Amino acid sequence: MAQSAQTVKKRKIKGDGVWGYAFIAVALIVYALFTAYPVFSAFLISFQEYKPLGSTYIGFDNYTATFKDDLFWKSIKNTLVYTVLTVPVALLLSFLVAIMILPLRKKLQTVFKAVYYLPVVASGVALSLVWLWIFDPMPGGIFNQFIGWFGAHNQNWLGSSATAMFSLVIMAWLSSHGASIIIYLAALLGIDDSYYEAADLDGASFLQKLWHIVLPSLKPTTLFLLVTAVIGSFQVFQNAYLMTGGGPDHATTMVGLLIFDNAFKYFEFGKAAAQSLILALIIALVSLFQFKFLGKDVDY
Amino acid sequence: MSLYNNHTGSRAGKTARNTVIVVLLLLFALATLFPIYFMVISSFGDPVEAGAVSYSLWPGKFTLESYSFFFNYSEYSYRWILNSTIVAGAVTVTNVFFATMAGYAFSKLRFKGRGVLFSILLAAMMIPYQVTQVPLYILIVNTFHIENTFSALILPGLVTVYNIFLAKQFMSSIPTEIMESAKVEGCSQFQIFFRIILPLSKTVMAVIAILTFMDSWNTFFWPFLVTNTMDMQTIQVGLKNFRFANTTYFSPMMAGATISAVPMFILFFSLQKYFLEGVTVGAVKG
């Protein structure tokens, strides 16, 4: 689909301008009302102490208060820790699985793709309920039983600030690599065989081919997956909210959860809006940084 | 020739290699699927309080009592599923329709500001949802006063930029000549869209439909914000109530979780091809 799109000449039909506007009208209205206006509105609200009946303009107070707020910095730190622990492992696991699926017969490939994609399809709320029980602090809890086989003592996984973040990380390691596995596999299948043929003539080993052909060819895909995974991880909210509520002792308060709490628990809409804009800026900077330093020799 | 040496080396060596690979893949698959397995087998246990449960990996007993417990727990248990179906269904239909329309215009029609408008739309995909959540909530609840209605649940998702992007990507591969000749034959744009573009775009329409339905069915955050009575909640929000009201009942909770996941599993297994195809659209450059 996308491949042939590149080759087709970009010719457009002339003289149907009105139809063009008619066809995008609904999309534009929805966009203007439910995306563009809210973004604009977030800017305004971030400078206000929001009240349903007449807000007061308070300048940069929401921003300065945020920068002085220890909890805000802690939530940024938690989000960073979570991202650094989960994203690289998720990418590596997806890559390894895709590489292993590659030599199998077509039928078997499809079976494994489906198997690994299945958890993506399940509802996140349902899965977090399941994980709550897996991490049950009683000695009978599944995870405690599991580590018991290795002689470890049972822990209060989600209830202790020493292990709560780690528990969320384990959960991320073992769920939902389905999409990136499939994307990696598609990219692997897209590598031209002539590279391997040339390498074989030179007597290259499997590892040499992996290092000199596969890794460079997959760089754009890796960059794409990395950037989207980091963006997703910075916005993480649901798991922390449903599993730990940010506790214990704010050990798992991610910045997305902090913004949610400020908005819908304490009804500090102005503060939440300011923090969400800071988050947007951080995400933009981190993405830019990744493109700049990792995307150097990637051409699109 | 490829990454793996399929032609050199002994047949036995190749078989051994693939066997090792399959075993490794199966082991990791077991770990990945474990939560789902645990959810399903636990849902067939007796609806006793958690203190009395021994978490076992094998079903000691097979009973559907936890399912009836779940449906009897709240008079709205069925209603949650119905609400989810209505909302996800409506959002799916409008997305397929409006996203293909916009995708067609952006890929095939020439009008002033097309490039700029499309870039502005794309920019939206980079804005974290935290930025829009507060103003959107204020808009729906304080300005339009439509909280706790189907409109509040459906309207913001009427058509998403991602789906427009998918449709545009797909349709730029349809040869423009087809539309030109249809025009020469006297077709209006409306007829071209319905008689030519839509029949040729079945694949991308299916992909959009499936991904949108899945997203909408599984979404928790927005319905949780804009509903405030049990009868308007979707199944995902309902599950959460259930957790707080009934933390001590393990099996019924797993039954509820299973109920919320099973429709998606059924869809997945029957339309797997489109699910898996949809993932790569826009992500892989050929």
pLDDT at position A159 is 85
Who among A14, A33, A129 is closest to B253 (CB)? A129
List of chain A residues whose C-beta atoms are within 8 Å of the C-beta of residue B33: 115, 118-119
List of chain A residues whose C-beta atoms are within 8 Å of the C-beta of residue B21: 100, 103-104
Who among B6, B32, B275 is closest to A119 (CB)? B32
Chain A's closest residue to B15, CA to CA, is A104
A121 touches chain B (CB under 8 A): yes
List of chain A residues whose C-beta atoms are within 8 Å of the C-beta of residue B121: 27, 31
φ, ψ for residue A48 (rounded to 5)? Answer: -125, 155
Question: For residue A248, is the peptide bond before it cis, meaning its omega torsion is within 30 degrees of 0?
Answer: yes
Q: DSSP strand E in A73-201: where?
A: none
A205 touches chain B (CB under 8 A): no
- Residue B109 pairs in a beta bridge with A13
Question: DSSP character for A33?
Answer: I
Please compute, for residue A266, the number of CA atoms within 13 A of its CA located in the half-sphere on the CB side. Answer: 13
Instruction: Please tell me the distance in Å from B264's CA to the nearest CA on chain A.
Output: 6
| pLDDT band for position B57 (cuts 50, 70, 90) | confident
Q: Cα separation of B86 and B119, whole Å?
A: 32
Q: B interface mutation test: which of A10, A24, A111 has the most B CBs within 10 A? A: A24
Instruction: Please tell me the distance in Å from B175's CA to the nearest CA on chain A.
Output: 7
- Dump pLDDT digits (tens) for A118-144: 999 998 898 998 998 888 887 778 888
Who among B53, B220, B258 is closest to A238 (CB)? B220
pLDDT at B245 over 70: no
| pLDDT band for position A13 (cuts 50, 70, 90) | low
pLDDT at A207 over 70: yes
A186 touches chain B (CB under 8 A): yes
Q: Which of A138-152, A187-201, B202-216 has the highest mean pLDDT?
A: B202-216
Q: What is the 3-state secondary structure of chain B?
A: CCCCCCCCCCHHHHHHHHHHHHHHHHHHHHHHHHHHHHHHHHCCCCCCEHHHCCCCCCCCCCCCHHHHHHHHHCCCHHHHHHHHHHHHHHHHHHHHHHHHHHHHHHHHECCCCHHHHHHHHHHHCCCCHHHHHHHHHHHHHHHCCCCCCHHHHHHHHCCCHHHHHHHHHHHCCCCHHHHHHHHHCCCCHHHHHHHHHHHHCHHHHHHHHHHHHHHHHHCCHHHHHHCCCHHHCCHHHHHHHHHHHCCCEHHHHHHHHHHHHHHHHHHHHHCHHHHHHHHHCCCCCC
Q: Cα separation of B177 and A260, whole Å?
A: 51
Mean of per-residue pLDDT scores for chain A: 87
Across the interface, whether the CB atoms of B239 and A38 are under 8 A apart is answered no
Instruction: Please tell me the distance in Å from B180's CA to the nearest CA on chain A.
Output: 7
* SS3 assignment, position A48: strand
For residues A256 and A234, the answer to whether their CB atoms sit within 8 Å is yes
| pLDDT band for position B8 (cuts 50, 70, 90) | low
Size of interface A-B (CB pairs under 8 A): 343
Max distance between CA atoms of chain A, in angstroms, equals 76
Mean pLDDT (whole number) for A239-254: 88
Using a 10 angstrom Cβ sphere, with 0-12 exposed, 13-18 middle and 19 or more buried, the burial of residue B160 is buried
| pLDDT band for position A5 (cuts 50, 70, 90) | very low
Q: Cα separation of A160 and B58, whole Å?
A: 29
Instruction: Please tell me the distance in Å from A29's CA to the nearest CA on chain B.
Output: 10
Mean pLDDT (whole number) for B36-45: 89
List of chain B residues whose C-beta atoms are within 8 Å of the C-beta of residue A187: 284
Q: Cα separation of B105 and B193, whole Å?
A: 10
pLDDT at A7 over 50: no
Instruction: Please tell me the distance in Å from A73's CA to the nearest CA on chain B.
Output: 17
Q: B interface mutation test: which of A35, A75, A116, A142 has the most B CBs within 10 A? A: A35
Distances in whole angstroms, Cα of residue A156 to Cα of each of A141, A167, A252, B232, B254: 10, 10, 15, 36, 21
Across the interface, whether the CB atoms of B257 and A126 are under 8 A apart is answered yes
pLDDT at B259 over 50: yes
* SS3 assignment, position A156: coil
Mean pLDDT (whole number) for A105-124: 91
pLDDT at A1 over 80: no
List of chain B residues whose C-beta atoms are within 8 Å of the C-beta of residue A112: 25, 29
Mean of per-residue pLDDT scores for chain B: 87
pLDDT at A12 over 70: no
Across the interface, whether the CB atoms of A273 and B134 are under 8 A apart is answered yes
Who among A15, A35, A279 is closest to B124 (CB)? A35
Chain B's closest residue to A187, CA to CA, is B284
pLDDT at A189 over 60: yes
Q: Cα B42–B43–B45 angle (5° rounding)?
A: 70
- Placement of tokens 């528990």 in the chain: A167
A5 touches chain B (CB under 8 A): yes
Across the interface, whether the CB atoms of A45 and B134 are under 8 A apart is answered yes
Who among B2, B4, B106 is closest to A24 (CB)? B106
pLDDT at B49 over 80: no
Mean pLDDT (whole number) for A158-185: 90
Say which range, A160-169, B67-76, B160-169, has the weakest mean pLDDT: B67-76
pLDDT at position B53 is 67
Q: Cα separation of B257 and A128, whole Å?
A: 9
pLDDT over 70 percentage in chain B: 92
Across the interface, whether the CB atoms of A2 and B281 are under 8 A apart is answered yes
Phi-psi region of A21 (alpha: psi -120 to 50; beta: other; left: phi over 0): alpha
Question: DSSP character for A141?
Answer: S
Instruction: Please tell me the distance in Å from B202's CA to the nearest CA on chain A.
Output: 13
DSSP A186-235: HHHHTS-HHHHHHHHHTT--HHHHIIIIIHHHTHHHHHHHHHHHHHHHHT
Mean pLDDT (whole number) for B44-66: 76
ipTM of this complex > 0.85? yes
pLDDT at position A11 is 54
pLDDT at A173 over 70: yes
Mean pLDDT (whole number) for A91-97: 95
Q: What is the 3-state secondary structure of A90-105?
A: HHHHHHHHHHHHCCCC
In this structure, which amino acid lies at residue B141?
V
pLDDT at position A9 is 44
Q: Which two tokens stand for residue A18?
A: 């009105």
Q: Which two tokens stand for residue A134?
A: 């897996």
pLDDT at position A200 is 85
List of chain B residues whose C-beta atoms are within 8 Å of the C-beta of residue A14: 110
Q: Cα separation of A232 and A91, whole Å?
A: 13
pLDDT at position A133 is 86
Instruction: Please tell me the distance in Å from A275's CA to the nearest CA on chain B.
Output: 9
pLDDT at position A49 is 87
Q: A14-46: b or e for each residue (b if 16 or more CB lie within 10 Å)?
A: eebeebbbbbbebbbebbebbbbebbebbeebb
pLDDT at position A297 is 61
Cβ neighbours of residue B126 closer than 8 Å, sequence gap 6 or more: A231, A283, A284, A287
| pLDDT band for position B216 (cuts 50, 70, 90) | very high
For residues B278 and B93, the answer to whether their CB atoms sit within 8 Å is no
Who among B134, B190, B240 is closest to A125 (CB)? B240
pLDDT at position A124 is 87
Q: Which two tokens stand for residue A56?
A: 């007061």
Across the interface, whether the CB atoms of B101 and A97 are under 8 A apart is answered no
Q: B interface mutation test: which of A4, A10, A12 has the most B CBs within 10 A? A: A12
pLDDT at A8 over 60: no
| pLDDT band for position B146 (cuts 50, 70, 90) | very high
List of chain A residues whose C-beta atoms are within 8 Å of the C-beta of residue B239: 123, 125-126, 129
pLDDT over 90 percentage in chain A: 50
List of chain A residues whose C-beta atoms are within 8 Å of the C-beta of residue B106: 24
